[in-house]
Amino acid sequence: MELLMSIVIGIIFSVSIYLFMSKNLLRVAVATLLLSHGVHLLLVTMSGLQRGASPILSFDAEAYTDPLPHALVLTAIVISFAVTALLLVMSYRTYKVHKTDDLEDLRGSADE
Amino acid sequence: MNNIIILPVIIPFIIGAILILLYKRHSMQRVISGITMFVLLALSVFLAIYVYQHGTIVLEVGDWKAPFGIVIVADLFSTLMLLLSTLVGTVCLFFAFQTVSQDREKQFFYPLYLFLMIGVNGSFLTGDLFNLFVFFEVMLISSYGLIVHGGTGYQLRESFKYVIINIFASALFIVGIAWVYSITGTMNMAHMAQRVSELDQTGALNIVAIIFFIVFACKGALFPLYFWLPRSYYGPPAAIAALFGGLLTKVGIYAIIRTFTLIFNHDVSFTHKGLIVTIAGFTMLLGVLGAVSQFDFKRILSYHIISQVGYMVMGLGIFTPLAVAGAIYYIAHHMIVKTALFLFAGATQKITGTTDLKKMGGLLGTHPWLAWLFFITAISLAGIPPLSGFFSKFPIILAGFEEQQYVISAVALLVGLLTLFSMMKIFSYAFWGKQKHTEEQAKIPVGKLLLPILPLVALTIILGFAAEPIFTYSMEVAEEIMNPTNYIESVLKE
């Protein structure tokens, strides 16, 4: 299961890096979204998947799954949600002001 | 008593939330935020003295015992950083009162400012790696708000790049956290340090160490990840540029020093003396060359941030108590001087209406106070004795020669010379020569603007003349962080 997850995470990372390299504002915004999904999956996977019963709910199990990564990933999801919302607003404003969504045109002139 | 160390995080949080409700009344916002910053400053002075006298204070939040719950730790290094950050925050706020336009003030300027302070103070105080990530994000999200605040075309364009690079670095931060958790099985930094020394897993830990180094290097603007800094710090108003220039990169440097003295000290010859020293050399050299090639007041200062961050990291890389003490002294010196210089850039911009050096000239004749105060700060940055710049560079370079790191020490000396050159370039273009601003502009008074900067200029002189006691203090800080057993024992209570 961990191996499968690792491959999935790898694919998500590579797609996201590919999108990062594109010239379109919105694609870059989507790239950050995908990247954050990738790292959240990584955070859950690295601590081992489903090693035992869920903690607190059952008291008679031999082993329990580590609950800490789940707490961490929840926090990370909330943060990435806020950042993505902000980024989308910023991309939209940039598009409105500069009338373009091509990052090549957003480089700025050399003499500024 | 322990509860007091959470106050630097809680106070700006509550006040910032209240200020959101008062967003229509900006004179009231000014008064409240000004008082809050003074309270924070007094609190951090008290904490610095208390921790110096009584040793490290640890707070287990919600009474969850140490390796399981989140801990807030105030040791000598974090209280020193807290003191510097609130000092810079207070000064920039009072400068902002006079320079930030009303339109910007209306748009939640002060709440964002205080939320930034939560993130910065929290990053210095936390003893939990994931909590460090959370406070970094609080700081970064507020900084995204402040850097794009006002929404001019230039700001939007450059802030987008700033946001993207930081989101990427934050994603890598989580990758690092995931890996270090799978290796050590803990998030508490003290516990992690203990496990790392027991584990003997040099290969895997080196990879994690490099991931963390990349993350913090992105925030701290180290080679080759500094390209976003000069352009994005150019856009926002001077008060914000000064706050970012003085504060934000140093949070990254603090995190590097903290993690690489406490956790990743298992393979010093590779990570510190190999990797960090090399990166520091390139950062210093390329940063200062960037500054030499520029003809814009704010751009030159931004490139100097990069070159000076290199000195701090070089002090860590050499990794003797003397060098780390030098790095700590350098952080103190740099935060004070760099903030002052950015604020001087703001004051000159208010007079001449430009930051292009070729369009300035003759300010010495019309505004002598501004010119001479700038001169003192500029030569302090370049490292002329008896000002603070000299006494912070001296121990780092001395330690470099003692440890036979001749190349990096030579680079550091050369960079000092080039810093002097580019500072004198600003002075001779902007302050000497023929007057290029109009007679009306010559009558613009800057006395009130200089008032918040005066304490910083006074401090750089004091840090220079009182180098002996302050260096003794930074030596104690360095010895404490070089020997992490004290930190581990006070957190885990063994």
- Structural domain includes residue A110: no
* Residue A56, in any domain of the structure: yes
CB B125 within 8 A of CB B72: yes
Can you state the percent helix, strand and coil of chain A, rounding each to 5? 70, 5, 30
Domain that holds residue B315: 2-492
Domain count, chain A: 1
Whether A44 maps to a domain, the answer reads: yes
Return the residue of A nearest to B68 by Cα.
A68
Is pLDDT above 80 for A57? no
- pLDDT reading at A35 higher than 90: yes
**Number of domains, chain B:** 1
Question: CB within 8 A of A62, min separation 6: which ones?
Answer: A52, A53
Within a domain: residue A40?
yes
Structural domain of A29: 2-100
Cα separation of B167 and B138, whole Å? 12
Q: Give the pTM.
A: 0.94
Residue B426 has a CB neighbour count (10 Å cut-off) of 25
pLDDT of residue B82: 95
Q: Are B275 and B211 in contact (CB under 8 A)?
A: no
Among residues B261, B438, B246, B440, which one has the least CA distance to residue B341?
B246
Contact B160 A20 (CB under 8 A): no
Indicate yes or no: CB of A43 within 8 angstroms of CB of B174: yes
Q: Is B141 on the interface with A (CB under 8 A)?
A: yes
Residue A84 in this model has a pLDDT that exceeds 70: yes
Question: What is the pLDDT at residue B494?
Answer: 65
**Within a domain: residue A107?**
no
Question: Do A39 and B163 count as a contact with CB atoms less than 8 A apart?
Answer: no
Q: Give the pLDDT of chain B (494 residues) as one tens digit per residue.
A: 688 999 999 999 999 999 999 888 888 999 999 999 999 999 999 999 999 999 899 999 888 888 888 999 999 999 999 999 999 999 999 999 988 888 888 888 999 999 999 999 999 999 999 999 999 999 999 999 999 888 888 888 888 989 999 999 999 999 999 999 999 989 999 999 999 988 888 888 999 999 999 999 999 889 888 888 888 888 888 899 999 988 999 999 999 999 999 999 888 888 888 899 999 999 999 999 999 998 898 999 999 999 999 999 999 999 999 999 999 999 999 999 999 999 999 999 888 888 888 888 888 888 889 999 999 999 999 888 888 889 989 999 999 999 988 999 999 999 999 999 999 999 998 888 888 888 888 888 888 888 999 999 999 999 889 889 999 999 999 999 998 888 999 888 86
CB of B159 less than 8 A from some CB of A: yes
Question: How much is the pLDDT for B164?
Answer: 92
ipTM summary value: 0.93
CA–chain centroid gap for B235, Å, is: 19
User: Could you tell me which chain A residue has the CA closest to the CA of B355?
Assistant: A112
Helix B321-352 crosses helix B76-99 at what angle (to 10 degrees)?
0
In a domain, A45, yes or no: yes
